[in-house]
Amino acid sequence: MVGAPRRWLVASVLFGVALGPQLARSQDAAADPLLRWASAEIDRVNPRVDAVATRVFDHLGPVQYGDDPLHWWRHALATNGRKIETAGSGSYWVYDPVHHLAAMSEGGDAMGDSIFESAAPPAALPARDLSGVVSARGLRLGLSSAQAAHDLGVPLAAVRRISPREAVLYARAPRRCGPYACAHDATILFRDDRAVAISLLDVGP
C-alpha cells in the first residue's frame, strides 16, 4: 500500500515536467500583450478548413520558399522585424501604420510569409510600407475570391464560407523535402469577397 502514493507522486512529477514548456508558453502569452496579439492574429487569418489540392506554388518575395532558405530569408516580408515567441520557432513581425497592414515571416517547420489587414499592435513593431506587396502569381490584398482561385489553379467552389461575411481558400501543393513528404500551403481569407489576409508557407512533415 505504501507504493501506490509514491507511484502517484512520480507520475505527477513526470506529468508536470512534460507540461512545463506548454504551461510556461501559455503564461508568457497571458503576460505579454504583444505575444497574445500575434497569436490571436495568426489564428484569425488562418481559419481551420479542409485543404483543396493544387499544383501551384507561390511566394510573396523574389525567392521560392524552401529552395534556398538562407537566400529566401534575406527577402522575407518581415526580415529585420521584431521577433515574437509564437508557437514553433517563433516569428518576425513588421507593421504598416499608414495602411493598417501587418506582415509575419517564420522559419523552421513552417517557412514563409503572411500579410493581412490588422489593427495596430499593442506594442511597437518596425514600420514598413506593405501596400505594394504582390505574390509571384499576382495574389494581393483586395482581390476577389474568383481571382484568387484562378491564380492558385483551383475551382471557385474551393472557397469555403465560414460566416455570413467571411470565406477562406486553403490550397495545398505536395512537395518533397529530402526523404519526407511536405507541402506548400496557400491560405487566403476574404471579407465581403475581398482578400484581407494571405498566407503562403512551406510546411514540414
The per-residue pLDDT for 63 is 87
The per-residue pLDDT for 171 is 97
d(CA 30, CA 8): 30
Tell the residue number behind the cell numbers 502569452, with chain if given: 29
The per-residue pLDDT for 27 is 47
The per-residue pLDDT for 3 is 53
The per-residue pLDDT for 28 is 53
CB 145, CB 193: distance < 8 Å:
yes
Cβ atoms within 10 Å, residue 175: 15
CB 175, CB 155: distance < 8 Å:
no
d(CA 179, CA 202): 15
**Tens place of pLDDT for every residue, the chain, 205 residues?**
445 444 444 444 444 444 455 544 444 555 699 999 999 999 999 998 999 999 999 999 888 887 777 788 889 999 999 999 999 889 999 999 999 999 999 988 889 999 999 999 999 999 999 999 999 999 999 999 999 999 999 999 999 999 999 999 999 999 888 788 889 999 999 999 999 999 999 998 7
d(CA 166, CA 42): 16
According to DSSP, residue 194 is labeled S
d(CA 115, CA 142): 12
Map out the domains of the chain as residue ranges: 32-203
Question: Facing residues of 161 across strands?
Answer: 167
Q: Give the predicted TM-score (pTM) of the model.
A: 0.83
Nearest CA-CA partner of 199 in 16, 28, 77: 77
According to DSSP, residue 127 is labeled B
